[in-house]
Structure 1
Amino acid sequence: MEAYKRWVRANKDYVHSLESLANGLTWLLPERFSESEIGPEAVTSFLGIITAVHEHIIETTPTQRNTGQVESSSFPYSLCITLLKDLETLVEVAAQQIFGDDRKWNFIAATEATKVLVRLAIFWNSGYKMVLHGGESVNIEKGRDAYNSQQRQGHFANPGNLNGTYYYGQAPWNLEGRALSALSRFGANARMLSEPTWLLRVQHQQAIMEPPIKTAEKPSLSSILSEKGVYGGLFLMGEVMFIVRPLVYVLLIRKNGTQSWFPWFTSLAIDLIANGVLSYVTALRTIRKDPLFDLSNQERDELRRRKLMWALYLMRDPFFMKYTRKRLDHTQKLLEPVPVIGFFAEKLIELSIGAQTRYTYMSGS
């Protein structure tokens, strides 16, 4: 297994190229969206799982300098979410063929419930930070202000310490860094030689008696509520609403059917309220004009991504059958006489209509 991991990490560009080609060809498999065909979806799920495992191997490379995605010290929640998303379409197709259209929603609901539990675990494990890309990305980036401040100061302006040796920023291999490193080692050795033995013993005793400096702990639920007050509670509520929205949607479809407007409107309302609450509390300023919630660049992108996901409501029943499908058919008739463009438009519309028949392709979860 370790040999395979080393091969994947050494040939990551080659692996990415093969995976992209294979995943693209799956859309051309015969009867990709047939109600009775499990084979193409099994192939797609298998390729998705392989891709997710390879990405996890590459992201957890021990020598990787960018540790933003490394989860080697904890349970790989993001990998679990990715694997569940790769399997859920296969689960839907298999359940539909074996148990029928109505009973398949029991299995889809079980899949969504599992994803909700994993995302809640991610939310708790991250110290109640915003869940990025449905949990597939790890949210450990600093706030934007802190990040920009660090960038303005520059990594090379703050000397660090590693095993008693001070390096000039993060690049001890350059000429200036090596010179300063040598000076700091010389100063440290000279100071140790010049200090009397009794002083060294006192410093050693103080180091033993004084508690070590603790690293910053992730905030707890009580600390967030005490520091942010009502707005902290609103932030938590908005994030939890976003996490549980897909499960609520599936349970309502299971009860009312796909052609009922009640699941559609309820899901849309939860999305609007959750995003509205998050946008409101994250835009608030303190008395000193500082942001109440210091969002990172990734978190701001996540808020924008969630708003873009609202476009999927155009592809969900009953809105799709009543409005979107008619527009697609009308567009196909207009472009059909046009050479080349008409062919590609027909194929694209055919794929869109086929993908719409799968809940998991349009769930946005």
Structure 2
Amino acid sequence: MATLAKYQKFLIKQAPRIETVESWLRQLSLVIPGRFEDSDFVSQILVAVLNLISLYHDSLLWKVVARHAAVITLPSSLFNRYTRHWYREPKFKRIALTLTLVSYCEVVAEMWIKKNYSEKTRWRFVVWLEALKALCRYQLFKISGGRMLLHPSHPQRDIDPSTLELAEDSSDFDPRTGGVHYHSNEAEQQWDHPDQLVLPLQGLAKFGEIAWIVRPLVYVLAVRRFGFQSWKAWTMSLAVDLTSRGLMRSAFANRKEGSMTPLEADEYGRRAYLLLYYLLRGPFYQHFTKPRIEAFCDATETRPVASIIAGAIRDYQPLWEDVFFYTAGS
């Protein structure tokens, strides 16, 4: 415990530098693939470790905020206001953190199993992990009262490290004067309660959200049944995705309270972006995307600037071709 306390104190004092180091290491992880044998695996290990460390750092930073809640009011995004509201529910927090940890480690875990075990074992692992994620999301859906699930399931870092250092330094911080206060902007103040940031889904919208929750599991089960290069598996997954979007869009259009809230609109847009992963999956990638990528890389490999882009694409090809979770969008 003494060691953790010392590390927490060090973290607060060095928070700006630690953020810089985290950022630098993330950039390093982007250029590692393709540089040496097993570089893809090493890069994903680095990404996973950095994500886990950042999550731990966030928990320590927020403990400091909680200790000085009476004298520090930090600005909070709409997303964090909503997520922290539900984090007060212990069961929600446990499940949300489980989902976060799984999402951080799933690519590395799959790559390790692929290196050391059979394909059958690998796909069995993928199925069970997608089943676990679907179960976690469904539980979050129920606990939140049938609201649209946001990504990620944990609060994001929006803390000014210099403010925390000031609060921790008793010689510079005077609680009688209130110290340093920050206030949310007016756009955030219009929401009286976090419950209003994401509203309960009604009617067909609930089925649309459940369809989105089970879509990754449907896809991987179809892959197990028909094969990774099967159009049936690819089409089934896309059909579930589009059905989910259609039901949600229709329900939002007919909502009595009006259209989507800002957080719902952001999440709906994020899910639209995830549809691009279908370009890198299964038969569509093999028959349409890959030939065009190969043609582009071959045509630009001797050109000064374009060759850098082509080289980066070739470095990342093994990841989206061989690792299911890299393009799973789940």
Please state which band the TM-score falls in when normalised by the shorter chain.
0.7 to 0.9
Counterpart residue identity of residue 19, structure 2:
H
Sort the Cα spacing of 1:283 and 1:2 in 2 relative to 1 into closer, same or farther, 3 A.
farther
Task: Give secondary structure in 2 for the equivalent of 1:80.
Answer: helix
Out of 110, 128, 132, the position equivalent to 2:128 is 110
The farther-off stretch of 243-252 and 10-19 is 10-19
TM-score of the aligned structures, taking structure 1 as reference length: 0.67
1:248 aligns to 2:218 (yes or no): yes
> Which whole-Å CA distance do the structure 2 matches of 1:7 and 1:80 have between them?
27
- Return the offset for 1:137: 5.1
1:355 aligns to 2:325 (yes or no): no
Greater CA radius of gyration, 1 or 2? 1
The higher-RCO structure (CA 8 Å, 6+ apart) is 2
> Which whole-Å CA distance do the structure 1 matches of 2:254 and 2:268 have between them?
15
Structure 2 unaligned spans of 5+: 157-176, 179-192
Task: Give secondary structure in 2 for the equivalent of 1:232.
Answer: coil
Are the counterparts in 2 of residues 108 and 250 from structure 1 also a CA contact under 8 Å?
Answer: yes
1:82 aligns to 2:82 (yes or no): no
1:259 aligns to 2:236 (yes or no): no
Counterpart residue identity of residue 209, structure 2:
E
Sort the Cα spacing of 1:116 and 1:32 in 2 relative to 1 into closer, same or farther, 3 A.
farther
1:234 aligns to 2:204 (yes or no): yes
Sort the Cα spacing of 1:245 and 1:8 in 2 relative to 1 into closer, same or farther, 3 A.
farther
- Return the offset for 1:343: 2.8
Sort the Cα spacing of 1:260 and 1:33 in 2 relative to 1 into closer, same or farther, 3 A.
farther
Matches within 5 A, 1:1-365: 1-29=4-32, 38-59=41-62, 61-62=65-66, 63=69, 65=74, 66=76, 68=81, 69-70=83-84, 71=87, 74=90, 75-133=93-151, 135-136=153-154, 232-286=202-256, 290-291=257-258, 295-339=260-304, 341-356=305-320, 357-365=322-330
Report how many aligned residue pairs link the two structures.
275
The farther-off stretch of 252-261 and 344-353 is 344-353
2:171 is aligned to none
Counterpart residue identity of residue 264, structure 1:
W
Are the counterparts in 2 of residues 256 and 263 from structure 1 also a CA contact under 8 Å?
Answer: yes
- Return the offset for 1:261: 1.0
Are the counterparts in 2 of residues 116 and 243 from structure 1 also a CA contact under 8 Å?
Answer: yes
> Which whole-Å CA distance do the structure 2 matches of 1:9 and 1:73 have between them?
27
The farther-off stretch of 265-274 and 91-100 is 91-100
Counterpart residue identity of residue 82, structure 1:
T
> Which whole-Å CA distance do the structure 2 matches of 1:355 and 1:282 have between them?
36
Indicate the RMSD between aligned Cα atoms, in angstroms.
3.1
- Return the offset for 1:247: 1.2
- Return the offset for 1:342: 3.2
> Which whole-Å CA distance do the structure 2 matches of 1:133 and 1:77 have between them?
14
> Which whole-Å CA distance do the structure 2 matches of 1:295 and 1:281 have between them?
10
- Return the offset for 1:6: 4.7
Sort the Cα spacing of 1:307 and 1:322 in 2 relative to 1 into closer, same or farther, 3 A.
same
> Which whole-Å CA distance do the structure 2 matches of 1:32 and 1:244 have between them?
37
Sort the Cα spacing of 1:33 and 1:117 in 2 relative to 1 into closer, same or farther, 3 A.
farther
Task: Give secondary structure in 1 for the equivalent of 2:302.
Answer: coil
Sort the Cα spacing of 1:354 and 1:241 in 2 relative to 1 into closer, same or farther, 3 A.
same
Counterpart residue identity of residue 269, structure 1:
A
- Return the offset for 1:9: 4.6
Are the counterparts in 2 of residues 52 and 83 from structure 1 also a CA contact under 8 Å?
Answer: no
Sort the Cα spacing of 1:266 and 1:345 in 2 relative to 1 into closer, same or farther, 3 A.
same
TM-score of the aligned structures, taking structure 2 as reference length: 0.73
- Return the offset for 1:298: 1.1
Are the counterparts in 2 of residues 126 and 218 from structure 1 also a CA contact under 8 Å?
Answer: no
> Which whole-Å CA distance do the structure 2 matches of 1:237 and 1:11 have between them?
47
